[in-house]
Structure 1
Amino acid sequence: MWTEEIVSGLPAWRHTPSGVVFREVPGGTFRMGLSDGELEAVRAIERADGAEDDLEPFFAAAVQAQPVRDVLVEPFLIARHPLTVAQIRHWLPEFEDEFADEDSNTARLDGDLDALLEVLPFRLPSEAEWEYAARAGTSTLTFHGDGRPDEDQVLNDFADEMRVAAAQNAFGLAAMGSANEMCADVWIPHFVDAPGNARPRTGDGARVVRGGAGDLHPWQGCDEWLLLLSATRSEFADFTAVRPVASVPADHKRA
């Protein structure tokens, strides 16, 4: 089912039946959530842009990504980028995406989401796994640092391997934050009673989504870049992308 190979200079696992490329994310502990240092970095960006007051809604909502806490994450596999239209059709042959121009575009699912999750041989990432993967060992706004991310970080099409490779973080993952990606967790404000490990919080209600900057592209100057931040979180609404995760094959777990 799995084939080990090198993709853009980094080890990868390819799911042989579908061709989806996964990266192995090492385990570890990280600080999850939007820190005071990150909030100050956002304020510094807006002071430099001369439009600090425009971000008051963001700062008002930032408490939903706090308090910051230590989370232990076990090793796992995660797709290199969100599933594309072509990849979705491996499991749902009749799938159509009215937002996609090419089969190599990120697939946005609405009515087909439940059908996909029923047949997908993988699971959704927990919110903690998603943020840990997006940070890739960093504690800054994005894996690029505390600078203002720009539209070059938004990826929607994955046909151009050179562009995908250039957009990878240290874990070899591309487009973290671009699409509105669903997590396994039910939305809980302020991480109330969240566990100290990366297991998802389950129950009834809307799911957590991460990212979404590409879903508002081309940007209209309404601070859509904030959706690229590693810690930005929101409740699910409308359509979503899927970046599946899987367990590291038992025979190949690293010591």
Structure 2
Amino acid sequence: MWTEEIVAGRPAWRHIPSGVVFRAVPGGTFRMGLSEAELDAVRAIERGGEVEDTIDPFLNGAGDAQPVREVRVEPFLIARHPLTVAQVRHWLPEYEDDYAETDTTTARLEGDLDDLLKLMPFELPSEAQWEYAARAGTTTLTFRGDGKPGEDQLLDDFDDETRTIAGENAFGLAGMGSANEICADVWIPGFDAAPADARPRTGDGPRTVRGGAADLYPWQGCDEWLLLLSATRYGHADFTAVRPVAPLPPQ
């Protein structure tokens, strides 16, 4: 079912039937949510004249990603990048994607999402797993720091291995924040009473989504870069990308 190998100079696990490459994320504790330091960094970007429109809606909605809390995450596997069109077709051979230009582009699922989740032998990441993986040990706006991320940080097609490698964070994960990746958690504004052990919050209603800056490319100057931030979250409404997780294979 699994083979351990080196991909782009890093250890990886490949799911043999589908060919999807996963990275092993070490366990640990992190501060989850949009911190005051991160909000100050966003305000500094505004003071520096780097805001195209207005960040007031983002600042007013900061409570959706607060309070910041400490979360313990156990080791797990997560896909190196969101599933591509070609990878989705392993489970859904008739899958067609109106948003993708090539088979190596991130798949955006709409009506096929539930079918994929039923057939795929993996789970969706919890929000805590996703943010922990996106931060990769950092506490800044993105894993690259507190500077304003630009369109050069978008990574949506994984045909170019050199560019994919350049887009990896410290955990060897590429494209975090580019596509709108759906999580296992139901959408609940804020983190009051959220579990501290990375379990997803369950219930009725839409799931939570992370990322999505590439979904608005080419950017229209409406501060789409805010979707690249590690802590940005919102409720699922339309199409979505999938970056699955799995338990560590037995040794």
Q: State the AA in 1 paired with 2:81.
A: H
Name the Cα RMSD after superposition. 1.0
Which deviates more, 53-62 or 173-182?
A: 53-62
**Offset from partner CA, 1:59-89 (integer Å, 9 cap, x none):** 0011100000000000000000000000000
Partner residue in 2 for 1:221? 221
* 1:51 Cα offset (Å): 4.5
CA distance in structure 2 between the partners assigned to 1:189 and 1:148 by the alignment? 25
* 1:134 Cα offset (Å): 0.0
Matching of residue 175 in structure 1 with residue 175 in structure 2: yes
Partner of 1:12, secondary structure, is strand
Partner residue in 2 for 1:92? 92
Q: State the AA in 1 paired with 2:194.
A: A
Q: State the AA in 2 paired with 1:98.
A: D
**Offset from partner CA, 1:188-219 (integer Å, 9 cap, x none):** 11112101110101111110000000000010
Report if the CA contact (8 A) 1:105-1:158 is conserved.
yes
Partner residue in 1 for 2:241? 241
Partner of 1:23, secondary structure, is strand
Partner residue in 2 for 1:33? 33
Normalized per residue, the structure richer in helix is 1
**Offset from partner CA, 1:125-148 (integer Å, 9 cap, x none):** 000000000000000000000000
Name structure 2 gaps, 5 residues minimum.
none
Partner residue in 1 for 2:156? 156
Which deviates more, 78-87 or 188-197?
A: 188-197
Partner residue in 1 for 2:63? 63
Name structure 1 gaps, 5 residues minimum.
none
CA distance in structure 2 between the partners assigned to 1:92 and 1:105 by the alignment? 16
Partner of 2:61, secondary structure, is helix
CA distance in structure 1 between the partners assigned to 2:98 and 2:52 by the alignment? 36
Give percent identity, aligned residues only: 74
CA distance in structure 2 between the partners assigned to 1:160 and 1:232 by the alignment? 27
Report if the CA contact (8 A) 2:45-2:51 is conserved.
no
TM score, norm. by length of structure 1: 0.97
Residues 36, 173 of structure 1: CA spacing in aligned structure 2 closer, same or farther, 3 A cutoff? Answer: same
Partner residue in 2 for 1:45? 45
Report if the CA contact (8 A) 2:126-2:185 is conserved.
yes
Structure 1 stretches of 4+ with a deviation exceeding 4 A read 50-53
**Offset from partner CA, 1:169-192 (integer Å, 9 cap, x none):** 000000000000000000111112
